[in-house]
Homo-oligomer: A and B are copies of this chain.
């Protein structure tokens, strides 16, 4: 497991955007803090608890910036994340991916280690597997039932009778049901914010309907958990919801910008790269950041504005007009003007540095071992925050 000890760089060494090895993952901590404050404030106004998703950041250093107290309730996408964050003092964790029965023992080990763990299921088979394991006497995680609010992925429709079946089997088996959880994955198909308030309403309504049916059947359902970054930023009324989850908002990205959730200047994550060549007859500039550094995510491919593999900026993160990473191989990126643009290809000499804003912060971050921290337009790299990975 990658060490999670922050490396604060000594004052004298003064690494900067001009000197760090490229490609490098750059995180603007000022923008991170602003993005976090914006959503925390919004959710506080809506009267709901905040359970951020750490799958985007996979970093204890980032997670500590999410909470005034330094820790708080989190959502994870793997048990490896849960173990990592638990080791850093985060003990209120929801593992929000449908539970494979083979993972129950590892989940129980986390509980034994002091983690208040919630797991997610959407089938009677998974409930039976938990109940079977519980007979062994181990302390069990709590259970959330996954609800499908928009047809995007897994979960039960609120009216599905298996909802109550699952709750009944858990209760009979002595396994605690905590509540319901849903995720408005289809909200990513919205553009320019259109439809997002409605998607947030639908997400809430599905979770509330499921909770109502469980309560009508005699089951307590204290947790009503909703969330995606888009719906979290556009929800108008979350009465009845107990908590909101969101992850990519910490950094934002071009997909979120295209959906209409943020401004370009909110994007906190970028990849620093060096110019290594030119093909002027083709309108190309070559850089040393390929898909290994950017990821293969083409999340804006079907957006009105296709950002290729990322939007190209100067070393301080100011976008050039219409300049994108148009193609990528493993360690080469090809920069070009967007098709049809009347802008001018900038003159960037071999050795000059650019920053690439990513389509999908979760995917691009995952390609790197650590963040290099800058603040705003500053060039100084003040720290290295490691990331974890794996399962």
Contacts and interface: CB of A to CB of B under 8 A. Distances in A.
- Work out how many copies of this chain go into the complex: 2
Nearest to A151: B282
Interface stretch (A163-171, A189-197, A313-321, A326-334): A326-334
B288 A100 contact: yes
Contacts of A390: 368-369
Contacts of A55: 330-331
Given A97-B332, A331-B77, A350 B185 contact: no
A95 to B, nearest CB: 10
B330 A77 contact: yes
Contact of A153 (B123, B288, B329): B329
Contacts of A126: 350
A119 to B, nearest CB: 11
A202 B168 CA distance: 69
Interface stretch (A5-13, A62-70, A271-279, A338-346): A271-279
Interface stretch (A40-48, A86-94, A110-118, A290-298): A290-298
Interface in A332-391: 332, 334, 349-351, 360, 362-363, 366-369, 389-391
A16 interface: no
A216 interface: no
Given A330-B77, A362-B330, A390-B369, A102 B296 contact: no
A282 B78 CA distance: 26
A98 B332 contact: yes
Given A98-B286, A125-B351, 14 more contacts: A21-B391, A22-B100, A22-B102, A98-B277, A99-B276, A100-B275, A100-B350, A101-B350, A129-B350, A154-B279, A291-B297, A293-B391, A330-B362, A330-B363
15 contacts: A22-B102, A55-B331, A97-B332, A98-B276, A98-B277, A98-B288, A100-B288, A126-B350, A154-B277, A185-B329, A293-B391, A296-B297, A330-B363, A366-B367, A369-B390
